[in-house]
Structure 1
Amino acid sequence: MAATIGDNPVRLWGMSSAERLRRQCVRSGVTEVRAWDGLDQGRSQLLLRTDWVFDEVLVRDLAKRPGTILVDSRNQEPVAAHVSAEDAAEVAEMLNSSRIVPADLAARLRVLVPDDLSSSYNHALRKRETPFLLRLTPEALPKIEQRMFAGSYKGVTDVITKYVWPLPARHVTKLCAVLGMTPNMVTGIGAVLMLLALWLFAEGHYLPGLAAGWVMTFLDTVDGKLARVTLTSSKWGNIFDHGIDLVHPPFWWWAWVAGLSAAGFTMPGGEIFALVVIWAGYVSQRLQEGYFIKRFKIDMHTWRPFDSFFRLITARRNPNLVILTLATLLGRPDIGMALVIFWIVACFGVHMAQIVQAEQASKKGPITSYLSA
């Protein structure tokens, strides 16, 4: 059982602090959540102050650690606790009124700061980052939402997603949250744009197709961030989003090759050769990444700093779109696709080298991500 303490009117991403805490508790396996009413209900209690914003990992790990008080690292102020029914009323009163943990409670319960409670390595987002714990006030809200949005970003991704999209995506994500749009709505709009880009490429209308494609890739960033900051991710949403991401890129490249004749160009080396390389290269790269995870239990792109750097530019959708966009603006979409095909082959070779190097390194013991060190 969990209870929220206090009534903070400040809204985060369009929701109250109490609602955010409720969603965090539910996602951590604590399905019964209420405002603290002074009653212990005869069960252990997860108590959380609404005037603080908790990284999701803190709530999840605190739910697994009965007999614990969580305090702010800077001032040692108590902000949350997981305690027995016998201690609940006393601890709730402390959280509601005290700026320190009394000596008698500190002697009976563990007192932990965020770094002691939770790991700084986020496996799902492929990055090392200290869990955040922030005091929620109207003045601090813009910086808090900026920090939360940054925390929703993958640490290892492509150059466009990492360096170009964050600022506009944060504002669009906030707008979607305030309007009540769900991540699946955003993904649905992206799916329509993905199909529109496919048709435009196949017709040889490359610049309009690129416009639709780039907006789709932008929304592909927004939907995931919206799900994380509003705590509305779901199994179906994950399948919907990642299923589209997984399937559509080679169809885009196929449509691009098919549209060259309509635009008055021919494919260097021939269309059949281009399509074979595109499909074989795409499938092979996915198989290489899957093999690396299965064989070494870590993501290929998180092993060493070079591997994370190469993920910025490897022959995935966004880096390939950069090549095609620049070539099309110069009036040569055919040369753009030829360069993409070259880059696909080159990246296949780099990934093979990474696998061989990992095989050699694993002979000395299991390999681990530099981010988890």
Structure 2
Amino acid sequence: MLHSPVTARSRLPHVGTTIFSVIGQLAAQHQAINLSQGAPNFPCSEALLRYASEAMQAGHNQYAPMTGLPALREAISAKTEALYGCRYDSEHEVTIMASASEALFCAVNALVHAGDEVIVFEPAFDSYIPMIELQGATPVVIKLAAPNFSIPWDEVAARISPRTRMLILNTPHNPTGTTLSAADATRLQALTEGSDIVILSDEVYEHVVFDGALHHSMSRYPALAARSVVVTSFGKTYHVTGWRVGCCLAPQALMEEIRKVHQFAMFAADTPMQYALARILAEPEHYLGFSAFYQRKRDLLCAALADSPLQLLPSQGSFFMLASFAHLSDERDSEFVQRLITRHGVATIPVSAFYRDGTDQRVIRLSFAKDDATLLAGAARLCEIGAA
């Protein structure tokens, strides 16, 4: 162990090891069934693997263009127009990134400045607030309350100030499984009209919306698309989260600034993966069938938990559903989750981890992005739990 004479002044003094790492280590230690991580444990398309291998064999192993492979950008532009009616210019308004996380970071880094305010809804994915704070900006946190976790638009209106530069959305939402509605989009448009507010819309689960509902992308609404940066994920869509390839769509004036950051952060995403993704996008059945695929898994887990003491909350989209244990125990959700791992051998995530101040509504998050055997085995163990 080296002893450094240098004092590190942290730019993120409130950030430690993420809950995902903590739960992952504890689950491994106890060999728990993992219903905590939003990463599939089943294989991706064999065609996609073949396309990537063929790209490597064909010599596509050097840097891709900074903005992304033209064929992939064109395919994304065509897909977005077909699904949402918005035509992004593939040359100037679509950028392939080294993960959705990089796209989010580049957007915040490029468009938010010291002294700005950014509205964030909690529970929130854990990277949003650190990204804001690294810019010297102020996160303005608005809490979503169980069991509906709907956006309190009157509070949003009250919290908008002359310093508000950005509002971050996530739909379908991690961790709650909720989705935006047409009424939400209408209210958002009214609140931002005439302002200089940028909407950063994290839509990595765009193809995982249930029960025949529409995905209300910012790209679906012209007035919102004109002020939005939309971030999507190939990793989530094609079961290849380890490939780390995402996409960013935005009007040219915003994208020019985002690309300035991207070229120095990563420059380009992995080349052979981009070739493979461009080819598989020509086969829309792969992404058009995702809602039905994951809805079946959601319903399987719900049915298997019918006899459990947990109270399941509705999941409208994403890889996740929430479960309340408030009627069972006065434990903190973090304590309850640890008990599930150590006594029952199943790993979940405490929703308090998605609040900066640890707000605890005694709700846990379950992931159904698992093979059927894992879902059934995890559910069987959860059916055995009792009060503390």
User: TM-score under structure 1 normalisation?
Assistant: 0.26
Structure with the larger RCO, 1 or 2 (CA within 8 Å, 6+ apart): 2
User: TM-score under structure 2 normalisation?
Assistant: 0.25
